[in-house]
Amino acid sequence: MVKKLFLSSLLVISTAVFAQDKHWSYEGETGPEHWADLAPENFWCKLKNQSPVDISNTVEGQNPKLEISYKKEEDYKIINNGHTLQVNVPPANFVSLNGKAYQLIQFHFHSPSEHTIKGKNYPMELHLVHKSDKGELLVIGVMIKEGPSNGILREIFNQAPVEEGEKELKLPFNIYSLLPKNRDYYLYSGSLTTPPCTEGVTWIVLKTPITASKDEIEKFRTIMKHPNNRPIQPLNSRFILK
């Protein structure tokens, strides 16, 4: 019963977001430089702690332990909302940072990568979006470089709607397998990278990329029909811990 209520609520939320999504884009008069002016709630987009950032000037520190508890699931929904391909995730998948638990809500993709490492873009970036029971957000960013085929990404992109819409993803898998074996990470405080660009997001960007084949990367780009990365934002007075 709880699972059904969760999926129903998630569908309502997804539909609401889907209905409102068309007022912003990645280019032209509704592109990133105009996001703050498109709606009152987008005021965040012009503040000083925005994401993505270039990860180059880092500070040595002892990052808190990241614990990941993802399970094999079957009830995934894949959505093409015109901005990205998003996979909604059933409950029971969590990460814990410094003893605080965050539930995985969804993951999605950007191409080229939104974050850069020492000024370098990767072909793609995976974002895993988590929320605490108090509504605090934590996003894990995983760089994707061209290399050996990634069977899970291949199936996700092959099953994705090629036009805006939603489908059941017929692919049982553990999201844990989308992460690299080495989980050393960079840590900083930033924002959502899409409107309303809400700040206070804990960002964990893994140092080690995963791979996807050239064809898999091109498949995603063909479905999206346009780059979907927000430009790099100033770091200002923030620190990036490594």
Q: Is the dihedral of CA 22, 23, 28, 33 positive or negative?
A: negative
Contacts 24+ apart (CB under 8 A), 42-48: 42/195, 42/196, 42/197, 43/196, 44/191, 44/192, 44/196, 44/197, 44/198, 44/199, 45/195, 45/196, 45/197, 47/191, 47/197, 47/199, 48/234, 48/236, 48/237
CA dihedral 230, 236, 241, 242 (to 10 degrees): 60
Residue of 23, 34, 83, 110 marked catalytic? 83
List the alpha helices (DSSP H) in the chain.
2-20, 35-38, 151-159, 214-224
In this structure, what token pair is assigned to residue 175? 């999201």
User: Residue 124: which H helix or E strand, with range?
Assistant: strand 124-131
- Asked if 83 is an active-site residue, the reply is yes
Instruction: Give the H/E segment covering residue 134.
Output: none
Query: Which residue's structure tokens are 């793609």?
Result: 124
Q: Would you say how long the chain is, in residues?
A: 242
Do residues 180 and 206 lie in contact, with contact meaning Cβ atoms separated by under 8 Å?
yes
Rg (CA), the chain: 17
Which residues are tagged catalytic?
Answer: 83
